[in-house]
Amino acid sequence: MDQGILRWIVDEHALAELVAGVPTMGLVLLIAVCVLVLSKGADWMIEGAVHLARRTGLPKIVIGATIISLGTTTPEAFVSVMAAWMGNPGLALGNGVGSIICDTGLIFGLTCLLATVPVNRYILNRTGWVQVGSATLLVILSLAALAMTPDEPTLHRWVGFFFLILLCAYMYVTYSWARTGGEALCGEQGPEEETIAPIGKALAQVLGGLFLVVVAARVLIPSAAELAGRMGVPEDVIAATMVAFGTSLPELMTAITAVRKGHPEITVGNIVGADVLNCLFVIGASAAARPLEIPPNFFLFHFPAMLIILYSFRAFITMNKGGFFRRWQGAWLLGIYLIYLVLQFGFNIGRQAG
């Protein structure tokens, strides 16, 4: 029984088989329930994060960059590590890099178009460099692997453990930056609107909301893919959209809810933190579990797209002296993501045959 549950958590095919036997009307109902659960879970998570920020004195952007991003990324890291351990190491690299591109291009791009997003320069001038630096380090180490073994470039276990050490340093340094930021950081908290929940209750809201978001997202994607297949949508279209979208669905729901509730800075922190964790945590833990072979299309397609998006984001942090991201910057990031998606889709250059 335990192995069966683990298989449903890790194996996409097992989840697909599970929903394949559900009648069409049952799938529609299941999808509707998952959407409601996603919304409620995201509500709890954002409310808990706001109370936690006010109770601890940490900026909401830091709560987003540490607790929220760690929570939304941990299930993906678990799935990637298990996939690597069970003989599919290529999935981990694709999950990590693809999620960075989706989080920053699609989710943050949309957030900038829909809301006025503040630039906390004290935090972003530091964590933003960690974000782009960790991804650049991944590409440099991958190019070094390509130079040393052109026939089979591989990220070895020592790279995974090195990334995990860097992850621990990042979490500690981010907390230290927030604590030593002084008055500049405290100003974002705003007026007290209502009674602040105790830390225990706030953490319970964050963790409970996170659990609902992750479970609902895990069930929603294969259900939607099965329904799309029954409606005649081609399999390759489903593979190129549903799977990529599914890995970033928790971050997307967090972003939508944070904007709706008037806390877009949580979205900024979550995106930056999720990018760092997708690189150092998802790819690092997976490489530590089993060496990751790097397919050729990563050097020609995925790595360049990731770096273009991240360095654009880094440039926008530097440019925005007025304290806010601009809508055209969101449009730029979203445009790059859409080009990436169209190329992956129309020319099949982002997917590895066999």
Please write the tens of the pLDDT for every residue from 62-82: 776 667 777 667 666 766 776
pLDDT of 353 strictly over 60: no
CA distance 189 to 60: 8
pLDDT of residue 234: 58
φ and ψ at residue 251, rounded to 5 degrees: -65, -40
Adjacent-strand bridge partners of 324:
118
Residues in the chain: 354
Task: Give the residue, 240 or 177, on which the prediction is more confident.
Answer: 177
Q: Which residue has the tokens 């952007």?
A: 61
pLDDT tops 60 at residue 119: yes
> Which helix (H) or strand (E) covers residue 154, if one does?
strand 154-155
Average pLDDT, the chain: 77
pLDDT for the residue numbered 33: 84
Q: Does domain 61-188+225-346 have CATH number 1.10.10.10?
A: no
- Of 51-60, 138-147, 276-285, the one with minimum mean pLDDT is 51-60
- Pick the closest to residue 170 from 126, 140, 118 (CA basis): 126
Closest C-alpha to 138, from 244, 276, 245: 276
Q: What global pTM score does this model have? A: 0.74
- By C-alpha distance, which of 220, 239, 265 is closest to 98? 239
Amino acid at 237: V
Exposure string for 203-227, b = 16+ CB within 10 A, e = fewer: bebbeebbebbbbbbbbbbbbbbbb
Contact 308, 136 (CB under 8 A): no
Question: In terms of pLDDT, which residue wins out, 353 or 337?
Answer: 337
pLDDT at 273: 82
**Where residue 245 falls among pLDDT bands split at 50, 70, 90?**
low
Listed by start position, the domains of the chain span 61-188+225-346
Q: Is 6 helix (H, G, I), strand (E, B) or coil?
A: helix
The helix (H) or strand (E) run that includes residue 164 is helix 157-179
Q: 12-40 pLDDT, tens per residue?
A: 666 777 777 788 888 888 878 887 787 67
**pLDDT for 174:** 76
For residue 249, pLDDT over 90 is answered with: no
Q: What is the phi-psi region of residue 156: left when phi exceeds 0, alpha when psi lies from -120 to 50, beta otherwise?
A: beta
Summarised one tens digit per residue, pLDDT across range 145-189 is 999 998 889 999 999 999 999 998 988 887 776 666 544 444 444
CA pseudo-torsion sign 339, 343, 349, 350: positive
pLDDT for position 258 = 76
pLDDT over 90 percentage in the chain: 18
